[in-house]
């Protein structure tokens, strides 16, 4: 057998499986992409038709709350946050007092 023919045959045996695996990978990713695109289009159509209204309404309510927080011109939100911080500080001190009391009792 001719040595050049053997090299060509070995080259083909190496390249064909590599090309096949790359082609298979590309095909699989293309199919996954198409499935995802169809799923998103179905969700969009469902939301527009009102069938998925519960989740859409929840999302819309959350956006409204965030808009209200972002556009709140008075300082009510800041004062509520400060009140919560002071309550957290009081809770932290109470926990520290309890831990020192149990250490003293030992």
d(CA 55, CA 76): 29
* Predicted TM-score of the model (pTM): 0.41
Round the CA-based radius of gyration of the chain to a whole number and report it. Answer: 33
**Using one digit for the tens of pLDDT, what is the confidence trace for 6-58?**
899 999 999 999 999 999 999 999 999 999 999 999 888 877 776 556 666 77
**Using one digit for the tens of pLDDT, what is the confidence trace for 63-101?**
887 777 777 766 676 676 677 677 666 666 666 666 655
CA-based max dimension of the chain: 95
Q: What's CA 44's distance to the chain center, in Å?
A: 19
């Amino acid at each position: 057998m001719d040595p050049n023919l053997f090299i060509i045959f070995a080259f083909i045996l190496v390249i064909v499986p590599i090309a096949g695996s790359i082609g298979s990978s590309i095909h699989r990713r293309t199919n996954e992409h198409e499935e995802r695109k169809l799923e998103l289009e179905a969700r969009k159509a469902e939301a527009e038709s009102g069938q998925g209204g519960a989740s859409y309404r929840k999302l819309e309510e959350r956006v409204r709350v965030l808009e209200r927080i972002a556009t709140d011109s008075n300082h009510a939100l800041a004062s509520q946050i400060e009140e919560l911080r002071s309550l957290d500080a009081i809770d932290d001190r109470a926990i520290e007092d309890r831990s020192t009391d149990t250490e003293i009792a030992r």
